Structure 1
């Protein structure tokens, strides 16, 4: 369930940040082009960081950075800061989109490692459906940004940060074996917790 909540939040934020460019104080076409270009380094950054960082921490940090960037964009809504403020807002939004893109890519790797083989296909399918549901809801809430730009940035940022916090309750999978059955995984988790609690 926690994995699906995280999947929904990540899917929503990834697509909402892209669609929310219409609420920036900048050219929509240039903003979309910059976001598209920023997705290329985001893939490499995420892959590079996966080698060194824990999956859970990287996913959580990516979500929190994406959400914080959206909340920072509020400062420059309605043309606050003039032309320089518009460029700063675009830079913050671009950074947030890169973080959302990293979180989106990591979610698949992390979800595959979370579940044993006999339920992995089903679990990844459920997580994918949660991502798609987040994708489906994103345009509806972005449209509300036409009424209140601040509201759209707040919803995107808040949901992203919430997803990052929920992901902290998921187990870490880096350098852990992929199990074949739930029974094997539960047995290993019990042994691990017993070893930690024993003197």
Structure 2
């Protein structure tokens, strides 16, 4: 699949993705990419976030590929069983936060717990870092297996966001292109 063959829906996490974040850069670079806008980025509510994902997927004209980061990954997993069968062709998921961890901050994200464990109804890949402060690699790997997602070891990459030096993230874009080719 080529980017022109699908609607690429970008699903940021808590507090959105700033202008230098790789998701924002991809949104500007890829002609069919657009962000799923949430009513509140600072005080996310699970039902509202899931509802917006379901709504935007239903409105898409082309087959959909979801690109989630952080809390957006968990929101996609919650929304998956509510999406029209066959509408989503795949999901590229990055930086799963462990919202089940008792010490996880911010506390508002814990409303997204537990992390769904049912297999996702579309092909997916989860990119995880060995040094993500929001999720241990072993937990990300376990969740990926339960979802039926391919796990990608990003090595020492922090939360794979601007703070960890992943603004442009060309390796991620190449990995995304490879994922699209397999769809």
The interval holding the TM-score normalised by the smaller chain is under 0.3
* Higher strand proportion: 2
Instruction: Calculate the TM-score normalised by the size of structure 2.
Output: 0.28
The structure showing larger relative contact order (alpha-carbon pairs under 8 Å, at least 6 residues apart) is 1
Instruction: Calculate the TM-score normalised by the size of structure 1.
Output: 0.26
